[in-house]
A = this chain, B = another copy of it.
Amino acid sequence: METFNAWAPLLRHLIELAAMLAFALSGVLEGARKRLDPVGVCVVAFLAAFGGGTLRDLLLDQRPFFWIRHSDYVWGILGLSVCALLFMRQRHFEPTERAIQIPDAIGLGLFTAVGVDTAQALGMPSLIAVLMGVITGVFGGVLRDIVCNEIPKAFNDHRPYAVCAFAGAWLYLGLRNGQADETTALVACVLLTAGLRGLAVWRNWQLPGWRH
């Protein structure tokens, strides 16, 4: 455990980077499918990567935003978008979309864990902390879809996404209230959220719909 704790910050940073990249890439793909111009692709990638965390910080009145503290990450998103415009062709979309599911699930887990952790540290009530976790994980994609003039996929594709984040965030709170330390709770939240999401994609789970 001693060894793990020494490696933990680096590990967390790496996963965080992977998650941000995965979300940004989902924005680039969405922008490409809608034939946006380079400016639009950058904005949508940016919204997908940072939108959830920014909305959370706006609601919790936390400044400065993550991307204002780390403006090099914004350069990264700009670079990614330009590379995608230069090198990506229509025939790459299909395989990219499938490959993106794994970092997207991990990203959902990590963003949820970070969000619930932040809100809990500010002393929010349980349900609000959980919602902040879900918002951090899910609303990047929601803003991406709103700008692209679509109903957010998280709200109408009937596959569990926000629900996985909801479950993971409650696990985090349960562990913290049961005196588990922060690292354990964070890791458990990431594993449950990403695991559930992975299972949902793999087994093609469906949320119940409207009956007639």
The CA-CA distance from A11 to B41 in the complex, in Å, is 36
Is A146 part of the contact surface with B, judged by Cβ < 8 Å? yes
Q: Is the CB of B156 within 8 A of A35?
A: yes
Chain B residues closer than 8 Å to A40, beta-carbon distance: 151-152, 154-156
Tell me if B71 and A34 are in contact (CB < 8 A): no
Question: Inside 8 A of A162's CB, which chain B residues have their CB?
Answer: 39
Contact A149–B151 (Cβ < 8 Å): yes
Range of interface residues on chain A? 35 or more
A175 to chain B, nearest CB (A): 20
Q: Is the CB of B155 within 8 A of A36?
A: yes
- Report A191-212 residues with CB < 8 Å from chain B CB: 207-212
Interface residues as binary, A80-92 with B (CB distance below 8 Å gives 1, 0 otherwise): 0000010011100
From A78, which residue of chain B is reached at the shortest CB distance? Answer: B127
Judged by a CB distance under 8 angstroms, whether A163 is at the interface is yes
Known: A59-B65, A149-B149. A39 touches B128 (CB 8 A): no
A-B contact pairs, 15 of them (CB 8 A): A31-B155, A38-B163, A39-B154, A39-B161, A39-B163, A40-B155, A40-B156, A59-B65, A68-B125, A68-B128, A71-B125, A71-B128, A90-B212, A147-B151, A149-B149
- The contact string, 1 if C-beta is below 8 Å from chain B, for chain A 18-47, is 000000000000011011111110011000
A125 partner residues in chain B, CB cutoff 8 A: 68, 71
A15 to B162, CA, bound (A): 32
Contact B148 A148 (CB under 8 A): no
- CB proximity of A130 to chain B, nearest CB, Å: 10
- Residue-wise, chain A 128-147 has the 8 Å CB interface mask toward B (1 for contact) of 10010000000000100011
